[in-house]
Amino acid sequence: MTVADGYTCAFCNELFPSKNGLFRHLRNSGCTASAAADGLEIKRPTERVALVLGVATSSHSWWQPFWRALDVARGAPDHGPSYAALAEQGVAPGAFSSERDAKDMLKACDVLSLTTEVVAPEDCSAWCARANDALPEDIRIFGRYGPLPADFHAERCCMRRYFTCLLPTKLLVVDNPNEVGQGALATSLTEEPPPVEEQRKMKCKFSPPTARRKHAKKQHQAGWGEGNTGEERLGQFFRLKEILREFQGEHLFHNFSQEALKPTDTLARRFVYRCRAVPGDAVGLTVAVDSLAPGQLRAMAGLAIALQRQLLPDSYLEAAFSEEQLLKVPLVPEGTEYQAQCVFRKDFHHLLQPLFEGEEAQNFRKKVEEKIAQEFLDKVFQTWFEEQLVPLTQKLSVEFNNKKPADTSAEVPDVKQEVPKAYAEVLRLLREAERSGTWPACSKGREKVIKASEGEHGSFTVGSMPPSMEAPNGNRLFPELAMRCFELERILKPGRCSSTIAINKRAQFLPHIDSGAGAGQGISLIVGLGDYSGGELCVENDSHDIRYKPLEFNGWTQRHWTKPFQGDRFSLVWFTPAGCENCPGLEMFQKILQAGSSRLSSSLRLANGLELPRLGMGTWQLDDKDGSSTCETAVTAALKAGCQLFDTASIYKNEAAVGRALEGKNEGVFVTSKCSPYEMGFDKAQEACRKSLERLGRNKLDLYLIHWPGVPKKPHTSPLHRRARHETWKAMEELYRQHLVRAIGVSNFTASHLQQLIEDGIEVLPMVNQIELHPLYQPAETIEFCRKHGIIIEAYSPLGGGSASNRARASDGEIDGTRLLLTHPTVQAIAKETGKTSAQVLLRWALQQDFMVIPRSSKPDRIHENFDLFDFQLSQEQMHTISAARLQLMKAFTKLVTGFITRWAKLRDRSSAGTPKACPRRGALW
């Protein structure tokens, strides 16, 4: 109701000077319920607030009375939805800073962020008091602060957390050297420390207490006692500080978790900002971290006690951080740790700090410590030490000291032995596959769990994969090896019929469990082959010698890894991915090999999913002159031979001829063009692409490449080349985004060019790298880089470059790669064996290595011959023989080049003839 001098509440008759004051009263007073019952709709404004609280109960359901108490403080359900009801339904009304790491710990300090009804600043204390009256004594709210920004989140905005584990002082600082379980420490208290050299032999990382006596006398602290006893106690405490200092920094804590973690798990790698011990009636082991792995603090405390009492060797700590193995680490009893403090972003922390440091919060912390001390510090810890820690560390110490890691720097011992007959053929094929140079690169996922080493290692898969995944490259590269491996499985375990095999060479696996496509498989089978020592397989903590001794284990649930080894170690792992249960590998490869395995897929899939024909036609040097277009005639002949991919470039000056020959043939025909060195740069490259499209008569290119990794007429060392590559690639990405090109790539780029391009910052990785490639020239570094990054290699001059190559021009036509290749006895012998021509054998050699191939010819009969490649296959032995013939061919090249240089030098002295020009298609002179 209203009066002349203000507004009066109809329920309590209190007078207010304005309507706003009256409604504020109705929203936030005892009259709220009456107003709601009277039918008045009141929407209470809300704000983002932080509640600072403490929890001194180990009950997992402490949140139930907590949310009910908040409902009491805010007057729910009359003033909004019940928090307790929401929590029962699994809907969290707010977020705790302890949600991730200390959900079930005691909490001397915790923060809750939630959006709740507005409370006037002067009423916050009363609001907290109402909540505390409804809470049990072991849960307290220290204060409420608001409003805060809407994005404040207690868990996400907490930058650092402090956790403390309370430990009995007598476990860490010993009064009686003869106490049970004292181990070597009893001796160290009464004897002088051994010499430095002796300490090194004993792997003593931390100084014994007696080594600290001199320091202790100078820096004696009160409370440690007088005389030698005080010095000894202080010396022990200094040793403890040295141990704890080693925990600081970034480490792998996979061995410190009560859950089964692997070194590759994100949760395993933690950063400890600070680790210290605070002396008192009990020693508080406090760490400052972003977050903890489950059980990490208890494990750190358990290992610190074991090291301090010298129940474990000092080197055990470093080994526990190693990614190469799993070690058991003792844990102190559960319930001894608590969350001590939270540190938030600067813009939030100074607002909450008064609540963190208030008297009520400090008293509650003491209450938490007293609770832990009463329950654990006396009998529980003593029993744990005598009945669990001492027996466990005795066992761990013996196991650890018996381990003899392989000395990889030493000479490889003579480990050759007679190969069991069942393994002989598989081992022969494995070594042949390694020599072939076509061993596939590791997948990115598998590379993460293999220890990096100086030697060459690798791992690939053969067999079946789930329908959503592509067939492994190993099926095509090594079908005979795959079949023999599946046959070996049936010999070793007649009841097994796996669908898939992982084939590994010199791969030392880190602790991991199998995942990805194979998830769901029950039992794996593994065996080691080759001349090596060491390399045992560890499954959880059991070590197994698998050299010609097959072992079954559950790779999907059991952590397993490889011990260090020396020599050439191969291993085979048979398994069945989920979805491949009805695809036995042996039967699959028997059918493939019976059918001759002569069919290659006609296309290759690029990184963006676009499929391009793996065999196409190059058009370099095919003229387009008035009245006579060699290029147009050749393209027409290639179409009749079944060619679907045509490669041209602006610098070839025949794009118009290609366009005329392909006029009206857009479906099923793919065209590649290139941005020349004269067109490099962000704006020029985009304009060049549009002009190429105009000349070709098309509205979109299937593939557009940077023709050359440099600009013309600049020194080789000029930084302009790198800058031009990057600017041009940004233009290529823009063309790709504008859908003017379906795929983008490069040409003539080496591995270093590609690496620089990635380092300079790109959004789209090149999908194709077109390079000169044939048995005479196999740039291994570039090939390996491209395969590792999923870049398809497109081989030009696959027959050796012909009489128009740079090499031929530089030698007046005497060095002809095509002539050397086509007439080489090895190539001719294989051509005779297969009933094909030498050219077809060389092209098939490139196709079987998963290269796109673009031979060039202007003669219709040879064009037809170049596309008749899919009715035969080269064996692994034939592939290897052709690849190895490179050494013989290079000798012939060297002889010709040496002779040419000698003759050219003599001619140069007699005349002023200039040097031959470099060809834009090939680049600099050979």
Active site residue ranges: 652
The pair of three-digit structure tokens given for residue 254, joined into one six-digit string: 């996979």
Q: Reduced to 3 states, what is the DSSP secondary structure of residue 392?
A: helix
Q: Quickly tell me which residue has 């608001």 as its tokens.
A: 146
Give the position of tokens 């329908």.
467
Other C-beta atoms within 10 Å of 697: how many? 15
Do 429 and 437 touch, CB atoms closer than 8 A? no
For 296, residues 6+ apart whose C-beta sits below 8 A from its C-beta are 253, 256, 257, 270
Rounded Cα–Cα distance for residues 712 and 465 (Å): 48
- For residues 710 and 757, the answer to whether their CB atoms sit within 8 Å is no
Q: Are 235 and 261 in contact (CB under 8 A)?
A: no
Residue 568 has phi, psi (to 5 degrees) of -95, 105
Distance CA 500, CA 521 (A): 11
Structure tokens at 481: 């090896």
Give yes or no for a contact between 209 and 239, defined as CB atoms under 8 angstroms apart. Answer: yes
Distance CA 876, CA 544 (A): 33
> What is the token pair recorded at 511?
């602790």
Integer Cα distance of 151 and 826 in angstroms = 72
CB crowding 602-613: b at 16 or more within 10 Å, else e: ebbebbeeeebb
Using CA atoms, how far apart are residues 69 and 133, in angstroms rounded to an integer? 8
The greatest distance separating any two alpha carbons of the chain, rounded to the nearest whole angstrom, comes to: 122
What are the CA-CA distances from residue 15 to residues 8, 26, 33, 338 (Å)?
A: 4, 12, 19, 50
Q: Residue 144: what residue type?
A: R
Q: Which residues neighbour 188 within 8 Å (Cβ) at sequence distance 6 or greater?
A: 208, 209, 210, 310
Distance CA 303, CA 594 (A): 60
Q: Nearest CA to 820 among 889, 726, 752, 871?
A: 889
Distance (Å, rounded) from C-alpha 655 to C-alpha 657? 5
Residue 504: half-sphere exposure toward Cβ, Cα within 13 Å: 21
In sequence order, the 6+-apart residues with CB closer than 8 A to the CB of 583 are 463, 464, 499
| 3-class DSSP string for 302-325 | HHHHHHHCCCCCCHHHHHHHCCCC
HSE, CB side, 13 Å, CA atoms: give it for residue 606: 20
For residue 5 the two structure tokens come to: 């001098």
d(CA 246, CA 244): 5
Residue 290's alpha-carbon distances to 163, 269, 339, 346, 734, in angstroms, are: 11, 11, 12, 15, 40
Q: Are 565 and 406 in contact (CB under 8 A)?
A: yes
Bond preceding residue 77 cis, omega within 30 of 0: yes
Strand, coil or helix: 388: helix
What are the strands, taking DSSP E only, across 483-592?
A: 500-505, 524-529, 532-534, 537-539, 542-544, 551-553, 560-562, 565-567, 570-575
